[in-house]
Structure 1
Amino acid sequence: MLSKKLLTTLVLASSLGCSIAQAEIKIGVVTSATGPIALVGIPQKNTVALLPDSAGGERIRYIPLDDGSDPTATVKAFKKLIDDEHVDAIIGPSGSGNAMGVIQFAAESGTPMLAPVGTAAVVLPMTEQKKWVFKTTQNDDLIAAALVDHMKKTGVKTIGMIGTADPFGENWSKVMKGLTDAAGIKIVANEHFQRQDTSITGQCLKVLMTNPDAVLIAAPGSSSVMPQTTLKDQGYKGQIYQTHGAALDPFLRLGGKAVEGTILAASLMLVLDEVPDSPSKTIAQKYVSDYERMYGNSPATFGGNVYDAGLLLEHAIPTALKSGKPGTAEFRAALRDTLEKTTEMAATQGVYNITPADHSGFDERGRELIIVKDGDWKLVK
């Protein structure tokens, strides 16, 4: 039989061990490191190793899962992280459609979700469920406004659109309709395709039949390439615009000469050597340098979206700890409330000013107008 002294010691040790376990902050990370969205998901998965490992004096443990670009797998991953791992927050998933399908689970469990996805539909319009979601990419209207402004300045009167048949492409259609109407630019064609499609010749021909002055392609990752190469193969000579969904180096490699002259708006990470010094530039340079040192290549801006999510959490955790311990509903709620009060926080994608109405929080400091020139990204002069 255990002595009273030994029993007391074991109980105390067990209590201390439990306290230590509770103090550990657990962050789930869901990325699409395989499957059709892998060009987006791989740099996001790789970035996990570069995220802050502590905040507010507490250790942070990341639990990365790969959903294979499958929305059903995304749901399973979220439920595992929430129900089995009892995480304090989740970064991810990689895809816009995948993200839309898990908002309810983040909200029902009261778990802050930091979504590194393109579509603004994950945070707009704001609802009771979406108040648990924060978005670490620029909202579509901020990016679109820069493109429409360039169209107007260069005399574009008509445009055709080709976008993915998902929340990303659908929200871009909505945003562009409002902005082009106000600018006196007419959308003469608006075609959609599935990311897994192997040919979109029909959609491109329909756009070409309207003879638009310019074409905007609204598609993320590798899916942004095929519409442009198809249009070029069919002889289109007008200006082609892309969204921030195409802001990755594989777009240049996969598109080759067909993407030369493309104009898009995206974060300063693509053109670090050309932008003036700023806090965001310094942070982005460190991230890029650390990523290159670890992996031997440069990260896509999508990786920066996950890096920024880590910085936002690092910034919010010390304040949230005053309201509750990690692993509790009180801590998660305080984390959400603190994230919503983020003010003038510089990160790789720009400067965050998050409010109850704006869970992305970027202004013009979060975008640059960029052109593909000689197979590389350059600022539009």
Structure 2
Amino acid sequence: MKAHTKAAFALALSLAFTTAHADLTVGVSLALTGPGASLGLPARNALALWPETIAGEKVRFVVLDDAADPTIAMKNARRFIEEKVDVIVGASNTPAAIAIAQVADEGQTVQIAPSPAELQPGRDKWVFRDVMHADYYTEGVLLAMKAAGVKTLGFLGLSDAYGESHLVALDRQAAGLGIKVVAVERFTRADTSVAGQALKISAARPDAVFVVAVGGGAALPQKALKDRGYRGKIYHTAASLTPDFIRLAGKDADGAFVMSGPEQVAEQLPDSHPGRKLALEFVQAYEGKYGAKTRTQFSAHIYDIGIMLQQVVPLALKHGKTGTAEFRSALRDALENSGAAGGIATTKGVLRYTPSDHWGYGPDARVMVTWRAGDWHIAQP
């Protein structure tokens, strides 16, 4: 290599290094391919709605596909740590988010998870969730069931961390609300049929069935129950609310109930709802860019993370420059103390993180919706 070429190459490396550390670098791991893409792709789309700069720092994304695979998600997280990103966003499914959490903790880098990653006590020092805890989602479903007169319940859910979190919450709360769980069946994300499980659930003749699945995969139990003649109410968790669910379930989606984030029905929220204003702004921005009825709560999760960073990055910059351990630590502290500072308004309501609560959302971040007449509507008891 000629001397002037070497010099030019060295200068380019120097400029690249300087630029990288003048940026706010965000490592993003989402399921962009495979069965989890119905969650990951809308989430990636929402990155385009973030501001180009936050507190004077140019926002730079490093976006990687984890295909909803925890092993790949962990490799992505290790790459983020090596590149000294300022914050990790991901993953769009729970098992992958849990895998990232281990690396984020080891690398002392903030992870904001747009999925309900349950971790052992003390293992979420660097992890903040941008969704409600499974306890609140499940409580909302059970309260809606009780209002509808449900006395007996079947559970048909995933046999992974996501399914388990809701089953545990169900076991903890159902009896206290006068609802008896009469059948429990599990399935995996890779299953192409749940006919056997649906048959067993139907045979128990519960008043309602609680389905815990993700994206288009939630259409499988919905259709299987209808095919076996089940005529009771079918309730779903937030992860079912995707265009793929509606497309794959077809007419069998009619009447499905989903415990959703409020942004899916922003226009129907009462003026008093704390998230209505920002939810409407999100819908206008997202659907203005991607088309009518393209909104999903998964894209809203990512939109909200952009809002969160706009509030806490200026505070962190008082203690260190982006790209440094001091900044990452200050960013963690700013998020953790946001509740004491009045919280962060998002499309779901008000997020209030505290040292003992890295979930932050309460019941105002949920709303029961139902699919009818070709759209989602707030369900009235």
TM-score with structure 1 setting the length: 0.91
State the secondary structure of the residue aligned to 1:310.
helix
Q: Structure 2 matches for 1:254-333, cutoff 5 A?
A: 254-277=248-271, 278=273, 280-297=275-292, 298-333=294-329
State the secondary structure of the residue aligned to 1:22.
helix
Q: 1:29 to 1:339 in 2, by over 3 A?
A: same
- Measured against aligned partners, the alpha-carbon deviations of 1:20-59 in whole angstroms (never above 9, x if no partner) come to 5423211111111111101001101111111232222222
Q: Structure 2 matches for 1:24-103, cutoff 5 A?
A: 24-83=23-82, 85-103=83-101
Partner of 2:9: none
State the secondary structure of the residue aligned to 1:162.
strand
Contact 1:252 1:376 in 2 (8 A): no
Cα distance in 2 for partners of 1:133, 1:316 equals 15
State the secondary structure of the residue aligned to 1:273.
helix
* 2:118 is aligned with 1:121: yes
- The code of the aligned residue for 1:287 comes to F
Q: 1:78 to 1:14 in 2, by over 3 A?
A: closer
**Of 37-46 and 272-281, the range deviating more from structure 2:** 272-281
State the secondary structure of the residue aligned to 2:275.
helix
State the secondary structure of the residue aligned to 2:41.
helix
Cα distance in 2 for partners of 1:60, 1:255 equals 39
Cα distance in 2 for partners of 1:276, 1:184 equals 30
* 2:239 is aligned with 1:239: no
- The code of the aligned residue for 1:162 comes to L
Residues paired across the two proteins, number: 366
Cα distance in 1 for partners of 2:319, 2:180 equals 52
Cα distance in 2 for partners of 1:96, 1:379 equals 26
Contact 1:52 1:311 in 2 (8 A): no
- Measured against aligned partners, the alpha-carbon deviations of 1:284-336 in whole angstroms (never above 9, x if no partner) come to 22222222232235221111111111211221100011111111111101101
Partner of 2:365: 366
Unaligned stretches of 5+ residues in structure 1: 1-12
Partner of 1:334: 330
Cα distance in 2 for partners of 1:26, 1:186 equals 49
State the secondary structure of the residue aligned to 1:74.
helix
Cα distance in 2 for partners of 1:355, 1:181 equals 30
Unaligned stretches of 5+ residues in structure 2: 1-11
Contact 1:232 1:258 in 2 (8 A): yes
State the secondary structure of the residue aligned to 1:121.
coil
Cα distance in 1 for partners of 2:61, 2:20 equals 14
Cα distance in 1 for partners of 2:192, 2:19 equals 52
Cα distance in 2 for partners of 1:313, 1:126 equals 25
Residue 120 of structure 1 deviates from its aligned partner by: 4.7
Between the aligned residues of both structures, percent identity stands at: 39
- Measured against aligned partners, the alpha-carbon deviations of 1:81-110 in whole angstroms (never above 9, x if no partner) come to 111x21010111111111111211100110
Cα distance in 2 for partners of 1:226, 1:101 equals 26
Cα distance in 2 for partners of 1:231, 1:30 equals 34
Q: 1:169 to 1:18 in 2, by over 3 A?
A: closer
Contact 1:24 1:58 in 2 (8 A): yes
- The code of the aligned residue for 1:45 comes to R
Q: 1:332 to 1:209 in 2, by over 3 A?
A: same
Cα distance in 2 for partners of 1:143, 1:326 equals 35
Residue 154 of structure 1 deviates from its aligned partner by: 2.1
- Measured against aligned partners, the alpha-carbon deviations of 1:168-203 in whole angstroms (never above 9, x if no partner) come to 001110001111021121111111101111111111
State the secondary structure of the residue aligned to 1:199.
coil
**Of 279-288 and 353-362, the range deviating more from structure 2:** 279-288
Q: Structure 2 matches for 1:46-195, cutoff 5 A?
A: 46-83=45-82, 85-117=83-115, 119-122=116-119, 125-127=120-122, 129-195=123-189
Cα distance in 2 for partners of 1:288, 1:263 equals 21
Q: CA RMSD in A?
A: 2.1
Cα distance in 1 for partners of 2:177, 2:290 equals 44
Cα distance in 2 for partners of 1:222, 1:15 equals 46
Contact 2:198 2:221 in 1 (8 A): yes
| Among 195, 198, 213, the residue aligned to 1:219 | 213
Contact 2:217 2:245 in 1 (8 A): no
State the secondary structure of the residue aligned to 2:302.
helix
Contact 2:264 2:295 in 1 (8 A): no
Contact 2:335 2:353 in 1 (8 A): yes
